[in-house]
Chains A and B, each alone.
Chain A
Amino acid sequence: MEQTTTDHDTGGIGRRQLLSAVGSSAVAAALAGCSTLLSDGETADQSEQSGGEISDEPIQAGLLTFTRGAPGVLGIQAQRGAELAVQRINEAGGIGGQREIELDVVNEGSNPLDSYNQFIEEGKEVTFGPISSGTHSQIAPEVEKNEVINVSTDGTVTTLYEETVPDPTYSFRFQNYDIMEVVTMAREAVERIGADNISTVAGVNPGYSFGEDEMRVFTQAIQRLTDAEIVYEGFPELGASDMANHITSINNEEPDVTFSSLWGGDVTTFVRQANANDMFENTTVFGTTLYSAAGDVPGDALAGTDIYSGSRNYYWGLPAPGNWQPGRELFDAATQQEGVTVPTAHYMSGYGAVTAWATAVEKAIDLLGTYPTQEQIAQVLEGHGFFTPAGYHNIAEDHQGASNSFAGQMVYDDDLGAARLEDVNTYAATETAPPPGVTGSDWLDSWSA
């Protein structure tokens, strides 16, 4: 199959750089979805390179994610993404051409730290997840103590690498984090409505650290971009069945912008009840993770709404399928899996976390000629660039992953049987993330008003 890749789609880097970033292995190519690109003789056979230096014992890996309940709407996406990445690695011969991965998945549930510790007691060589910011804040210090690499799928609270684990060695995060997706939506609000037209802002966000963090960052960002006043903040608990009070308050204030980081099943409850209360006649909603419910929100709930949503790190239509076929291939493969109507950013959370780790290990094997230690993998992961079907990703020296983010109008597609984004804008990581070593708050303060 003939494919072409433009510099625009690959974040502005050329073909040789792309090959270097992907890594010269079948595993890296399979994960990036660009096997044709790499089959022109420029890469050596991995099994010849690693030879007998690497054992053929399967790698035991663990994934902590939400597999049920309202959070399962996105947790299962992360699980399926991780499973597909593992399947592709194993079909390509395994890590180093010899070591297949066995992935053990547990529900994040009410005792996530116990589940994580169980993984360590079982001798897992790598762990992925969690979804929740609260869980991630509990686990990250344990990861550092245990010295076993964790690449989180989500757990995106801004303060994780600023305060909780300020100098991490073994803890990494694949996902674009809170400040990136919030700044994306603040820029999107200005792009769509215009700074001069935003004077009042309300927020409805989940009532725990993630939602509070997102509202705090959005407030700071939007007030640097506009002269907006915050007129209402509501924080419903996760899985709330009744959001009518928050919706009535928004109708009372009629804010120009309503910001929301509700996710999973809460999105559907909120959108349905907001629509029933005619809230969309009074405000325009901008949400970081509303699209996480793409396959769950019914068409009648979205009819007549005015919602712009982000898709943190992956949208199956971008980079354009004509120029970057892997995105479309992943979409098709994902929709064959149980429980995935449409793959969302959280699908890429799982896929990308596994890919980040696997491509780093492959790179280390290339460098060392043998299977690397945890410390060596950690060293390679710092500053590691790699491709997935979503495009190019980088994990900076502060252990934070970064990639393009996407935002567009959320509409219901009858043919797809799910929500999709329309009229999508792309935001580069440099527009949405502070440079390594600068805290999010300081970076936002440095913006000229």
Chain B
Amino acid sequence: MAVTPTAALVQTLNGIQFGFILFMIASGLTVILGILDVLNLAHGELFSLGAYTAIGVFGFIIGIIGPPGGGVVGTAVFILAVLAAVLVTAAILLPVGTLFEAVFLRQIYDRDQVYQLVLTFALLLILLDVKKFIWGDSSIRTDAVYSAINAIPTSELVGLNYPTYNVFVILVGSAVVVGLFWFFERTKTGRIIRATAIDREMATAIGVSTDRVFTLVFALGAFLAGFAGAMAVPPTAATLEMGTNPLVLSFVVIVIGGLGSLRGAFVGALLVGVIRSWMITLYPPGEIAAPFAIMALILLVKPEGLFGTWGETA
């Protein structure tokens, strides 16, 4: 198949867009791993919970403001409402993360890592049943957001046929990247979290409450998973099984980037997103294998991943 330059650009953009969704999921996973040393198997279900929750929140908020109005102001109001809905969804996940850490995980930090794996797997199963209990077995969708944002002619301005919603994901994803790095580099709380990651005992010795930091970090991870779920759901549907594939790919991403490295998660997510996209285009059977092949290759060359562990550098 001959690929035109335009199609090549669009396929690359498709990969970048998918990479940003992956980063939003993997960032929470990697921050929890970097600080708490916990591989959270329930993270994909938190992403899925965000998607389900977002459908209700989108419906509520858009129900209040009505359909997107005409003109620049009406469009801006609608986009702000969508962003507000995404943030509200993510905020709803905050207490869920807090509860998980304070009630369950805190009891087993001192035990072997296998306890954490079993516990987070149990939380995964519980979340699956909770979703089934609240929303039922069938997939559910939100119809208003995707088509309304796509109605905004953005890519046509540069002569490109590309959905505006994907542009929206890339822009919001970029803001999340900048925001996270700013938070960990520039804010006091962020520096305390990094200090705890680098040397937990020293942080405790200078008065940092590791309990509080751990709860905060797990809640932040849940917030990011919920944020990703809310951003990912408008073009597709919320289904009971939707947490599995992103979780597996997120593991690949954080292994490529270096366990616990935020910068590594960013680079790894974009790498996996773009290479997967091109593999689907050029050799579709390689779609599933490609991310794992990259991971194996990087581990052979740099066993600690592209950026090593997180903390000293974000």
Q: Which of A33-74 contact B (CB under 8 A)?
A: 67-70, 72-73
Say whether A248 contacts B7, CB under 8 Å: yes
Say whether A241 contacts B163, CB under 8 Å: no
A197 within 8 A of B: no
CB contacts (< 8 Å) of A276 on chain B: these are 146-147, 150, 163, 165, 235
A251 within 8 A of B: yes
A249 to B281, CA, bound (A): 7
B237 within 8 A of A: yes
CB contacts (< 8 Å) of B240 on chain A: these are 68-69
Partner of A265, one of B161, B235, B237: B237
Considering residues B4, B139, B147, B240, which has the most beta carbons from chain A within 10 angstroms of its beta carbon?
B139
Given contacts A68-B240, A251-B7, contact A244 B138 (CB under 8 A): no
CB contacts (< 8 Å) of B147 on chain A: these are 272, 275-276, 300-301
CB contacts (< 8 Å) of A251 on chain B: these are 7, 10, 161
CB contacts (< 8 Å) of A69 on chain B: these are 137-139, 239-241
Flag the segment in B11-19, B31-39, B219-227 that touches A.
B11-19
CB contacts (< 8 Å) of B4 on chain A: these are 252
A434 within 8 A of B: no
Say whether A245 contacts B146, CB under 8 Å: no
By the criterion of a CB under 8 Å from any partner CB, how many residues of chain A are at the interface? 38
A268 to B161, CA, bound (A): 21
A232 to B2, CA, bound (A): 10
Cβ-closest chain A residue relative to B9: A248
B166 within 8 A of A: yes
A93 within 8 A of B: no
A339 to B137, CA, bound (A): 11
Say whether B138 contacts A239, CB under 8 Å: no
A249 to B141, CA, bound (A): 26
A269 within 8 A of B: yes
Partner of A241, one of B162, B166, B232: B232
A363 to B141, CA, bound (A): 46
CB contacts (< 8 Å) of B162 on chain A: these are 277
Say whether A76 contacts B138, CB under 8 Å: yes
Say whether A70 contacts B284, CB under 8 Å: no
A239 to B17, CA, bound (A): 19
A242 within 8 A of B: yes
CB contacts (< 8 Å) of A298 on chain B: these are 141, 143
Say whether A248 contacts B242, CB under 8 Å: no
Say whether B235 contacts A273, CB under 8 Å: yes
Instruction: For the complex formed, measure the closest distance between the CB of B123 and the CB atoms of chain A, giving whole angstroms.
Output: 20
A265 to B238, CA, bound (A): 10
Say whether B1 contacts A72, CB under 8 Å: no
Per-residue B-contact encoding for A69-85, CB less than 8 Å = 1, 0 else? 11011001000000000
CB contacts (< 8 Å) of B11 on chain A: these are 245, 248-249
Say whether B137 contacts A242, CB under 8 Å: no
Instruction: For the complex formed, measure the closest distance between the CB of B168 and the CB atoms of chain A, giving whole angstroms.
Output: 12
CB contacts (< 8 Å) of B3 on chain A: these are 252
Cβ-closest chain A residue relative to B156: A278
Q: Which of B228-266 contact A (CB under 8 A)?
A: 232, 235-237, 239-242
Say whether B1 contacts A67, CB under 8 Å: no
A159 to B277, CA, bound (A): 32
Given contacts A248-B10, A251-B7, A252-B7, contact A241 B235 (CB under 8 A): yes
CB contacts (< 8 Å) of A346 on chain B: these are none
Instruction: For the complex formed, measure the closest distance between the CB of A229 and the CB atoms of chain B, giving whole angstroms.
Output: 11
Say whether B137 contacts A67, CB under 8 Å: yes
B280 within 8 A of A: yes
A241 to B3, CA, bound (A): 24
A231 within 8 A of B: yes
CB contacts (< 8 Å) of A246 on chain B: these are 280
Given contacts A241-B242, A248-B7, contact A70 B237 (CB under 8 A): yes
Partner of A245, one of B161, B163, B277: B277
Say whether B284 contacts A268, CB under 8 Å: no
A69 to B137, CA, bound (A): 6
CB contacts (< 8 Å) of A248 on chain B: these are 7, 10-11, 14, 281
Say whether A245 contacts B137, CB under 8 Å: no
A232 to B239, CA, bound (A): 29
Instruction: For the complex formed, measure the closest distance between the CB of B67 and the CB atoms of chain A, giving whole angstroms.
Output: 11
Cβ-closest chain A residue relative to B143: A298
CB contacts (< 8 Å) of A277 on chain B: these are 161-163
CB contacts (< 8 Å) of B284 on chain A: these are 233-235
Say whether A278 contacts B161, CB under 8 Å: yes
Say whether A72 contacts B138, CB under 8 Å: yes
A253 within 8 A of B: yes
Q: Which of A209-252 contact B (CB under 8 A)?
A: 231-235, 237, 239, 241-242, 244-246, 248-249, 251-252
**A-B residue pairs, 4 tightest by C-beta:** A68-B137, A252-B7, A245-B280, A241-B236
Contacts beyond the supplied A234-B284, A245-B280: 14 A-B pairs with Cβ under 8 Å: A68-B132, A68-B138, A69-B138, A70-B237, A73-B139, A242-B236, A248-B11, A248-B14, A248-B281, A265-B139, A269-B236, A276-B146, A277-B163, A300-B147
Residues of A within 8 A of B (CB): 67-70, 72-73, 76, 231-235, 237, 239, 241-242, 244-246, 248-249, 251-253, 265, 268-269, 272-273, 275-278, 296, 298, 300-301, 339
- 25 A-B contact pairs sorted by A residue (CB < 8 Å): A69-B138, A69-B239, A69-B240, A70-B237, A72-B137, A232-B1, A235-B284, A239-B241, A239-B242, A241-B242, A244-B14, A244-B163, A251-B10, A252-B7, A253-B1, A265-B139, A265-B239, A268-B237, A269-B235, A272-B147, A273-B163, A277-B161, A277-B162, A277-B163, A300-B147
